[in-house]
């Protein structure tokens, strides 16, 4: 493979999605942004949406706004996200945070399997997901046992061990579809089928797959899912998350945070809770409308680009990055901490190095690259196919090599914590 910058320019010139980059704010053209998997870039359209929301809708329409689109926004945007994840429009709703949605759906699932005591997950899952599960087990009287199945190598998910651990006692299996450190991509259909054979419910965390990897919840028969909107969906810092409940399960499950937004007739202000039908039953209280509305512009762009085209570009780009790693960074002591097989990984690549933290600091402070770091030594490079260019990838690898070759990391000490 060619490692010259001209090759990157050729790949960009041939990229059918390249024009989407202009629809994002690029404030510093020299800054290489490789952290779209933690906080997506700002779509230009979101600036106008935000101005209209605040000045006209809030400022002029006042309380009337709730009947002019605010009340419906959670469902309207949920229905658009549904098209990215292989779900029906009435199976997805935007609400709360990923962590809170995990709480609501995991409690609902455990209550639907009252005679079973095992919750299965893996040690590649996002720590917050494990914390939520621990809190739930505590809340429900310590009746449940959380089985955290270890990955064989810290990179690949323990698919076969998970399948073997499923039993008639498994209430819930919950995993990140794409895991946050290595980018490993689970076979959702195969794992869901195995869970169903054991009579367990499945809850998938799509935070690192939605918007970069095709997800087929209906095709896999998945029961429940949650996901984040500020990563590949570019909803902005702290934008609310989404949740999915398969249609035939919606009436069987109960939201443990049974607030008035899930009440049948909320404006009757009756004193007894009667859950509404459909996805609104998984809402709790008033939704953060301003940040909910800002999810829509980028979701529209992702739908326009098409998830299959985005995946094709992402796979070409991760493969390009891996080839550059092999040629230029492996000789400098970097290891590949992501799956080699492009069909088994999402859209970010983790590179390890004994001096990973110091290299990361030098990359940010000396080289104008924003990567992401995950302890102990993972430099995560997120590729957002809507706006990451091949030149960005080439330049990242070149600057990483320069940091090590010229020992620019030496002036940083190992102590500080990076987020
Ligand atoms: C980013 C991410 C979250 C985020 O949860 P919040 O409640 O928004 O803080 C949860 N799970 C996974 C797998 C993530 O990648």
* Numbered ranges of CATH 3.90.1150.10 in the chain: 5-30+306-411
- The helix (H) or strand (E) run that includes residue 79 is helix 73-84
Q: How far is the CA of 240 from the centre of ligand 1 (A)?
A: 11
Q: Whose CA is nearest to atom 15 of ligand 1?
A: 207
CA of 207 to the centre of ligand 1 (A): 6
Give the residue, by CA position, lying nearest to ligand 1 atom 14.
207
The residue nearest atom 10 of ligand 1, judged by CA position, is: 98
Could you say which of 3.90.1150.10, 3.40.50.10470, 3.30.70.360, 2.60.40.10 is the CATH number of the domain covering 5-30+306-411?
3.90.1150.10
Binding site membership of 97 for ligand 1 (Cβ less than 6 Å)? yes
Fold category of 47-303 in CATH: 3.40.640
The CA-to-CA distance between both ends of the chain, in Å, stands at: 34
| Residues 358, 410 contacting (CB under 8 angstroms) | yes
pLDDT in tens, the chain (419 residues): 899 999 999 999 999 999 999 999 999 999 999 999 999 999 999 999 999 999 999 999 999 999 999 999 999 999 999 999 999 999 999 999 999 999 999 999 999 999 999 999 999 999 999 999 999 999 999 999 999 999 999 999 999 999 999 999 999 999 999 999 999 999 999 999 999 999 999 999 999 999 999 999 999 999 999 999 999 999 999 999 999 999 999 999 999 999 999 999 888 889 999 999 999 999 999 999 999 999 999 999 999 999 999 999 999 999 999 999 999 999 999 999 999 999 999 999 999 999 999 999 999 999 999 999 888 889 999 999 999 999 999 999 999 999 999 999 999 987 655 55
Q: Alpha carbon of 405 to those of 305, 311, 333, 401, 409: distances in Å? A: 39, 33, 11, 6, 10
pLDDT of residue 415: 60
Q: In this structure, are residues 119 and 144 in contact, taking their beta carbons and an 8 Å threshold?
A: yes
* The token pair that represents 305 in the structure block: 């680009």
Structure tokens at 362: 């030098």
Three-state SS at 386: coil
Retrieve residue 153's tokens: 């190598």
Residue whose structure tokens are 């390249």:
18
Structure tokens at 283: 């809402």
* Given the residues 103, 184, 186, 230, the one annotated as active site: 230
User: Which DSSP helix (H) or strand (E) runs through 381?
Assistant: strand 378-382
Number of the ligand 1 atom closest to the C-alpha atom of 176: 13
Has 231 been annotated as catalytic? yes
CATH 3.40.640.10 domain position(s) in the chain = 47-303
What was the pLDDT predicted at 417?
A: 56
11 close to 313: Cβ distance less than 8 angstroms: no
Contact 37 CB / ligand 1 (< 6 Å): no
**Pair 41, 302: CB distance under 8 Å:** no
**What are 340-379's pLDDT values in tens digits?**
999 999 999 999 999 999 999 999 999 999 999 888 889 9
State whether the beta carbon of 205 lies less than 6 angstroms from ligand 1. Answer: yes
Among candidate residues 104, 116, 231, 358, the one labeled active-site is 231
- Going from the Cα of 61 to the center of ligand 1, the distance in angstroms, rounded, reads 34
Q: What is the model's pLDDT at position 99? A: 98
Q: Is the CB of 374 under 6 A from ligand 1?
A: no
Angle between helical axes of 390-405 and 356-367 (0-180°, round to 10) = 110
In degrees and rounded to multiples of 5, residue 271 shows phi and psi of -95, -5
Report which of 239, 210, 240, 242 is spatially closest to residue 224, judged by C-alpha positions: 242
Q: Is 230 a catalytic residue?
A: yes
């Amino acid at each position: 493979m060619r490692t010259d910058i001209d090759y990157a320019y050729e790949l960009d010139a041939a990229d059918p999605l390249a024009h989407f980059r202009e629809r994002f704010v690029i404030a510093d053209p020299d800054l290489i942004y490789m952290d779209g998997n933690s906080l997506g870039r700002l779509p230009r359209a979101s600036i106008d949406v935000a101005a209209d929301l605040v000045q006209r809708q809030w400022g002029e329409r006042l309380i009337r706004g709730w009947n002019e689109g605010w009340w419906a926004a959670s469902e309207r945007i949920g229905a658009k996200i549904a098209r990215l994840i292989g779900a029906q429009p009435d199976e997805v709703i935007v609400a709360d945070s990923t962590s809170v949605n995990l709480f609501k759906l995991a409690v609902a699932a455990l209550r639907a399997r009252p005679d079973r005591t095992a919750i299965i997950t893996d040690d590649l899952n996002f720590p917050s997901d494990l914390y939520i599960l621990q809190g739930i087990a505590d809340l429900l009287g310590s009746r449940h046992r959380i089985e955290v199945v270890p990955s064989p190598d810290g990179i690949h998910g323990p698919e076969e061990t998970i399948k073997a651990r499923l039993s008639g006692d498994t209430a819930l299996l919950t995993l990140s579809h794409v895991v946050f450190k290595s980018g490993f991509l689970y076979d959702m259909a195969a794992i869901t089928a195995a869970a169903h054979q054991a009579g367990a419910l499945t809850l998938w965390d799509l935070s690192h797959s939605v918007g970069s990897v095709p997800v087929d919840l209906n095709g896999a028969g998945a029961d429940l899912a949650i996901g984040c909107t500020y990563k590949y969906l570019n909803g902005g810092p702290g934008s609310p998350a989404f949740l999915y409940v398969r249609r035939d399960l919606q009436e069987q499950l109960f939201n443990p945070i049974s607030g008035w937004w899930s009440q049948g007739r909320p404006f009757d202000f009756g004193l007894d809770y009667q859950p509404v039908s459909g996805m609104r039953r998984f809402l709790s209280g008033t939704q953060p409308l301003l940040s909910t509305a800002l999810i829509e512009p980028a979701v529209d762009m992702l739908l326009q680009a098409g998830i299959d085209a985005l995946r094709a570009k992402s796979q070409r780009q991760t493969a390009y990055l891996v080839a550059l790693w092999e040629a230029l960074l492996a000789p400098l002591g970097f290891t590949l901490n992501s799956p080699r097989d492009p069909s088994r990984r999402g859209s970010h690549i983790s590179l390890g190095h004994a001096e990973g933290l110091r290299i990361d600091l030098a990359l940010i402070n000396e080289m104008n690259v924003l990567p992401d770091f995950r302890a102990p030594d993972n430099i995560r490079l997120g590729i957002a196919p809507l706006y990451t260019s091949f030149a960005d990838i080439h330049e990242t690898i070149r600057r990483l090599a320069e940091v090590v070759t010229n020992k620019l990391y030496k002036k940083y000490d190992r102590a500080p914590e990076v987020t």
